[in-house]
Amino acid sequence: MEFAIQVGGGQVRHHQSGIEAIIEEAQLAESLGFAVVFVPDHYVFEVLGTVQATTPAYEMFFVMATLAQRTHTIRIGSHVACMLFRHPAMTARLFAQVDEASGGRVIAGVGAGWTRAEFTMMGIEFPAIAERLAMMDEAVAIMRGLWGEEPFSYAGRYYRVTDAVCRPRPHQQPGPPLMLGGSGNGILRRAGEWADIIHMVPVIGAAGTTTLEELRKFTDVALPAKLARVRGAAATSGRPPGSVRFASTVFNYALTDSPSATQALAERMAGLFGLSPEAFLRHPIGLVGTAEEMVAELRRREREHGLWLLAINFTNPQQIRDFGEQVLPHLR
């Protein structure tokens, strides 16, 4: 199993600020052996429907390009690029150029957008989820086509390119790994058909915001059926078993100093989500426990669900260091 950190969402608090804080987090994670640093793609962040208007929201490709120059080995992923924010030719060019600058370290995470508030704020049309997914389909087709050797043409409902080229091409060929974010049925089917990685998070695309109801439904018990949909779609598309790797994100992280502290925190947090403490400790978006408990739980997720990559939202650099020193060495 491999591990990632998330940067740029305003979660981490330390003495640095701005882009230097993001660089510091990424460099620390790299030194500790984390495999990936993920960068979000938002005009504005929100938490459970509340816009975080004072939190800086850096341009995703600016951050990725900066990290390409200020790190050496850690992979740099988009989590995830909203394919409605830019023309797909521009997205293809940016991914290709950051992949070249980083020596082939890009993970191209893509999605159809979900934060209704930022679309409204910027005057961008926010169609129903089915149409946003259709737009993403065309955008991804163009992006992959432009990464090829020959001029590429495409005429769709939403986008059109004619004998188009993208130079430089990505360092990785035929292109960076494609990671699809979400867990709705439409996302799961598409992941099976063409993605390299499915990065599952609670369903939020239809509502246009995060909701407690969807967080409650995205349980450990629900994962097998979702993963089966991905595998079924992959098989139908003629892809071999294991073509799509499973990734997830932890939003509620706490390293405790004793099993009793773990239980007390689980009981307190479980009430907020309407779950039992046991269900909370197994919930895909949570990771709470002592170092030993975390190792056991992560091994369970790897064994039962095939979890390959886990991104963790830390709230301060010490959390990154503690996990990297106390938990990560036992999972390599």
Domains of the chain (ranges; CATH) run 2-251+311-331 (3.20.20.30)
Cα–Cα distance for residue pair 8/63, rounded to 1 Å: 8
The predicted model gives 12-30 an average pLDDT of 82
* Exposed e or buried b per residue across 6-18, where buried means at least 16 C-beta atoms within 10 angstroms of its C-beta: bbbbebbeeeeee
Q: List Cα–Cα distances, 135 to 159, 206, 231, in angstroms.
A: 8, 15, 24
3-state secondary structure the chain: CEEEEECCCCCCCCCCCHHHHHHHHHHHHHHHCCCEEEECCCCCEEECCEEECCCCCCCHHHHHHHHHHHCCCCEEEECCEECCCCCHHHHHHHHHHHHHHCCCCEEEEEECCCCHHHHHHHCCCCCCHHHHHHHHHHHHHHHHHHCCCCCEEEECCCCEEEEECCCCCCCCCCCCCEEEECCCHHHHHHHHHHCCEEEECCCCCCCCCCCHHHHHHCCCCCHHHHHHHHHHHHHHCCCCCCCCEEEEEECEEEECCCHHHHHHHHHHHHHHHCCCHHHHHHCCCEEEECHHHHHHHHHHHHHHHCEEEEEECCCCHHHHHHHHHHCHHHHC
pLDDT, one tens digit per residue, over 108-162 is 999 999 889 999 999 999 999 999 999 999 999 999 999 999 999 999 999 999 9
Cβ-contact 283, 219 below 8 angstroms: yes
Structure token digits, residue 257: 């100093």
Least confident of 195-209, 220-234, 272-286: 195-209
Under the banding of pLDDT at 50, 70 and 90, the label for residue 237 is very high
Specify the 3-state DSSP secondary structure of 218.
coil
What pLDDT, on the 0 to 100 scale, is given for residue 15?
56
| Average confidence score pLDDT of the chain | 94
Under the banding of pLDDT at 50, 70 and 90, the label for residue 205 is low
The predicted model gives 16-45 an average pLDDT of 93
Least confident of 126-130, 291-295, 297-301: 126-130
Under the banding of pLDDT at 50, 70 and 90, the label for residue 42 is very high
What pLDDT, on the 0 to 100 scale, is given for residue 122?
94
The dihedral through the CA atoms of 318, 291, 262, 293 has a sign that is: positive
Cα–Cα distance for residue pair 45/286, rounded to 1 Å: 20
pTM, two decimal places: 0.94
